Amino acid sequence: MKRPRRKFSASFKTKVFLEALKERKTMSEFAEQFNLHPHQVSAWKKEFLNNAEKAFGDDKHLLDLKESESQKENLYKQIGGLNMENEW
């Protein structure tokens, strides 16, 4: 019987990566501690290291995200207002 796929939060993955980076245990011991497969831990470690430069990149990307969230919120407000007008 197949186990359902589990989804992990970014904070959990970061916690696992930081613990794995310390290399105080073997990968198998470490994976067992977090109830993961050793390949999963290795994949997250590789993914983090491949994207580490983004942590120190420019903040323009973050500003763009905040701006788009603000625009999205304004659009939802407009949609809500228009829905009320249509129902009236």
Provide the residue ranges of all domains of the chain, joining segments of one domain with +.
Answer: 8-57, 58-88
Q: Which amino acid is at 44?
A: W
Contact 36, 7 (CB under 8 A): no
Q: Is the pLDDT of residue 66 over 80?
A: no
**pLDDT tens per residue, range 32-41:** 888 988 888 8
Overall pTM surpassing 0.85 (yes/no)? no
